[in-house]
A = this chain, B = another copy of it.
Amino acid sequence: MTQQEPPDTGPQPDAPKSPKRWIVGEPLPTSELEGQLLPKRLALPIFASDPLSSVAYGPQELLLILTATGGLAFLSFAPWVAAAVVALLAIVVLSYRQVVKAYPSGGGDYEVAGRNLGEWAALTVASALLVDYVLTVAVSVSSGVDNIISALPFLDPWRVWIAIGFVLLLVAMNLRGVRESGKAFAIPTYVFVGSLGVMVLVGLGRWLLGDLPLADSAQYGVQAHDLTQAGLILLLLRAFASGCSALTGVEAVSNGVPAFRVPKIRNAQATLVIMGGIAIALFAGVTAIALLTQVHYVENPCDLIGWAACVDQPQASVIAQLATSVFGAGSAPFFLIQAATAAVLLLAANTAFNGFPLLGSVLAADGYAPKSLSTRGDRLVYSNGVIALAAMAGVLIVVFQASVTHLIQLYIIGVFVSFTLGQIGMVVHWRRVRRRGVRKGTVGGLAINGAGAVLTAVVLVIVTVTKFTHGAWVVFAIMPVLWIVMHRVNRYYRKVGREIAVDDRTEFGSSGDHAIVLAGTLTKPTLKALDYAVAMQHDSIEAVHVAIDAEAAQRLAREWDERGIRVPLTILDSPYRGISEPLIAHIAEHRRSHGSEVVTVYLSQYVVGHWWQAVLHNHKSQRIKSKLMLVPGVTVAIVPWLLDEAKLVLKRPVRPFPGQDRRGEPSRPLIRRHLGEEEAAPSDGPR
């Protein structure tokens, strides 16, 4: 472990194109990071597919709760509940406009909570968001697959595999890089927004002309309920909580500020506001048309048409019913809307693929997560985060069999934990700014974030109460575990950091230097290692043979004599047929009699040309190395022996920078020699 970032830059340019290259594309140099940044027209679909797609189910959930629990009579409350959701959405969007400006580094709520409320809040936000990103992928993909299966029911047996397939597709697209996935995602999102917008406008127009037909489901009766006042309030709260699913993903922009083009803050804020505007317009519009066409949507369609006639067929979604009313069943716009809805639901999962790796890299940089999460891959994305997210979402999809009904219960909670803590953090932030004497903007900021904090906290309570027993407890069980793991990881990194920090007493003197060359048979690899060790001019040197087979040991001793090799050969007995153990005992013995000498063990190791040849070798030197590493004061030198076939495979010169090579630029790296030109240094300095 000598350097911080360890990505693998993959195969050579003129090697046959590997599957990885087909999927991911050629590696990009770090200098192209700027070129990967997002213009607003791409940032919008990338960050907004999640909140916009929730228009497809937000109004539906809201109507469902009202109709199913309360009966038709309570639909009159729908506009008010929808208005509350829209108002909350507006406040949350405005709140995040403030976050983007105050903390533009991409830390989002995590950074806000950490800076203003402390480590505990940052870790709480982080664990909540990590859980929710995984759920976003699982829920959105499952919901998209649901829509596809509604249209093509024969695919039902492969539901889980189709969902997994889409997750893999998302992984591949995201590994290609933020920019390229943005392009692929822009079209469906814009088609979805456009077609839904047209539907709302045409619907309203036809209503004004008195020409809007009722939905098919309008004729079905729904059982009426009597509710106490307390029951009514609970009903409205549940409807409100369900509608709040439209808010998920709003925070994505605040985590993605670094991915925007300059001026980053301005662009991110603008994207946020545009997104909020569209989401509000569509949410309100869809709810309005749904009420105007008197769509009845309940959990069990048999409630609508009566038990006798019920054939247990799935109910068309609210969006589908509206499209039928406005444009007519089977019309071209109807199919366009259905396809765009399915596509945008699948793409909503992509928001998490942007958020999770960014958050992971921030956590890794802060020492709360494994360092590998902060490694940019070939295409400049945090590849390990992308893969980790996909793996966890895949597990969820398999465990819950891609069932939206089950997964949706776990959803939203994490987002609102993050919302609430982030907004509280912002309130603390503004108060601190005021204490520093700054007045401008702080009153508005306090008002917006204060309102956001109170409202999101209320929603968090409502969502928790209404969902806890339906499975949401799982989230509350996982979050503390994540919290503790991150805390421990941080403690470990800090401990290691202290341990390896150089202080003034750092010194590595030793009294001497002894070399051991492990010799199995008298072959070229052994002689090469011996030759190399001799060239190193150690204070003392010996060859060691561990005798598993007495005959072979005698043969080696004889050959050693015959060749007159001047390095002494020690033969160690190995009653238990291990090589490392007698060797380690021998080293211990040597150090007992020679003080704390540094011991270097030379191992020769075959390098093969093909993977299958590796099966035919013992990987002994690898295993011996692992055991020797545990012995204090021992250094292991591996002397490679390239087999002929490996040489053939490697006969092309190694070209480290495929990208540059491809473009005809020189493959020599920029060498900046720093210090030491005057010393006895090699003369290959800068040319």
Q: In the bound complex, how far is the Cα of B446 from the Cα of A584, in angstroms?
A: 56
> Which of A176-184, A262-270, A541-549 lies on the face that meets chain B?
A541-549
Q: Please give, as numbers and ranges, the residues of chain B lying within 8 Å of A646 by CB-CB distance.
A: 630
Q: Are B675 and A560 within 8 A (Cβ)?
A: yes
- Residue in contact with A585 in the complex, picked from B376, B639, B654, B673, CB distance below 8 Å: B654
Interface centre among A529, A676, A677 (most CB of B within 10 A): A676
Q: In the bound complex, how far is the Cα of B27 from the Cα of A679, in angstroms?
A: 55
Q: Does A311 contact B (CB under 8 A)?
A: no
Q: Does A76 contact B (CB under 8 A)?
A: no
A493/B1 contact (C-beta < 8 A), A590-B684, A657-B581, A682-B514 known: no
Q: Are A2 and B518 within 8 A (Cβ)?
A: yes
Q: Does A607 contact B (CB under 8 A)?
A: yes
Interface residues of A in 362-418 (CB under 8 A from B): 370-372, 375-376, 378
Q: Does A158 contact B (CB under 8 A)?
A: no
Q: In the bound complex, how far is the Cα of B632 from the Cα of A653, in angstroms?
A: 11
Interface residues of A in 459-481 (CB under 8 A from B): none
Q: Are B615 and A581 within 8 A (Cβ)?
A: no
Q: Does A492 contact B (CB under 8 A)?
A: yes
Q: In the bound complex, how far is the Cα of B584 from the Cα of A506, in angstroms?
A: 31
Q: Are B643 and A499 within 8 A (Cβ)?
A: yes
| Distance (whole angstroms) from the CB of A510 to the closest CB of chain B | 8
| Distance (whole angstroms) from the CB of A566 to the closest CB of chain B | 6
Q: Are A656 and B578 within 8 A (Cβ)?
A: yes
CB-CB contacts of A610-640 with B at 8 A, as 1s and 0s? 0001011110110101000111101111111
Q: Are A606 and B1 within 8 A (Cβ)?
A: yes
Q: Does A17 contact B (CB under 8 A)?
A: no
Number of A interface residues at 8 Å Cβ cutoff, please give it.
Answer: 148
Q: Does A220 contact B (CB under 8 A)?
A: no
Q: Please give, as numbers and ranges, the residues of chain B lying within 8 Å of A535 by CB-CB distance.
A: 510, 513, 598
Q: Across the interface, name the chain B residue whose C-beta is closest to A566.
A: B679
Q: Are A640 and B635 within 8 A (Cβ)?
A: yes
Q: Are B575 and A657 within 8 A (Cβ)?
A: yes
Q: Please give, as numbers and ranges, the residues of chain B lying within 8 Å of A570 by CB-CB distance.
A: 671-674
A671/B371 contact (C-beta < 8 A), A584-B656, A590-B682 known: no
Interface residues of A in 497-546 (CB under 8 A from B): 499-502, 506, 508, 510, 513-514, 518-529, 531-532, 535-538, 540-542, 545-546
> Which of A335-343, A424-432, A662-670 lies on the face that meets chain B?
A662-670
Q: Please give, as numbers and ranges, the residues of chain B lying within 8 Å of A675 by CB-CB distance.
A: 557, 560-561, 568-569
Q: Does A5 contact B (CB under 8 A)?
A: yes
Q: In the bound complex, how far is the Cα of B590 from the Cα of A668, in angstroms?
A: 11
Q: Are B638 and A636 within 8 A (Cβ)?
A: yes
Q: Are B586 and A669 within 8 A (Cβ)?
A: yes
Q: Across the interface, name the chain B residue whose C-beta is closest to A650.
A: B630
- Residue in contact with A657 in the complex, picked from B552, B576, B631, B668, CB distance below 8 Å: B576
| Distance (whole angstroms) from the CB of A667 to the closest CB of chain B | 7
Q: Across the interface, name the chain B residue whose C-beta is closest to A573.
A: B670
- Residue in contact with A575 in the complex, picked from B537, B647, B659, CB distance below 8 Å: B659
Q: Are B499 and A567 within 8 A (Cβ)?
A: no
Q: Does A313 contact B (CB under 8 A)?
A: no
Q: Across the interface, name the chain B residue whose C-beta is closest to A31.
A: B575
| Distance (whole angstroms) from the CB of A367 to the closest CB of chain B | 10
Q: Please give, as numbers and ranges, the residues of chain B lying within 8 Å of A552 by CB-CB distance.
A: 4
Q: Does A29 contact B (CB under 8 A)?
A: yes
Q: Does A489 contact B (CB under 8 A)?
A: yes
Q: Are B501 and A523 within 8 A (Cβ)?
A: yes
- Residue in contact with A3 in the complex, picked from B489, B546, B566, CB distance below 8 Å: B546
Q: Does A420 contact B (CB under 8 A)?
A: no
- Residue in contact with A549 in the complex, picked from B5, B603, B625, CB distance below 8 Å: B5
- Lowest 8 A-B CB distances belong to which pairs? A568-B676, A3-B520, A581-B656, A9-B578, A29-B575, A2-B520, A6-B620, A500-B523
Return 16 A-B CB contacts under 8 Å, by A number: A2-B604, A2-B620, A3-B579, A5-B577, A6-B620, A30-B548, A500-B525, A508-B527, A532-B598, A536-B538, A557-B674, A575-B657, A581-B657, A582-B656, A594-B682, A635-B637
In addition to A500-B524, A500-B641, 4 A-B residue pairs with Cβ atoms within 8 Å of each other are A8-B623, A502-B522, A586-B669, A590-B684
**Chain A residues within 8 Å of B, Cβ to Cβ:** 1-9, 27-31, 370-372, 375-376, 378, 489, 492-493, 495-496, 499-502, 506, 508, 510, 513-514, 518-529, 531-532, 535-538, 540-542, 545-546, 548-549, 552, 557, 560-561, 563, 566-582, 584-586, 588-590, 593-594, 598, 600, 603-607, 613, 615-618, 620-621, 623, 625, 629-632, 634-644, 646-647, 650, 653-660, 667-677, 679-684
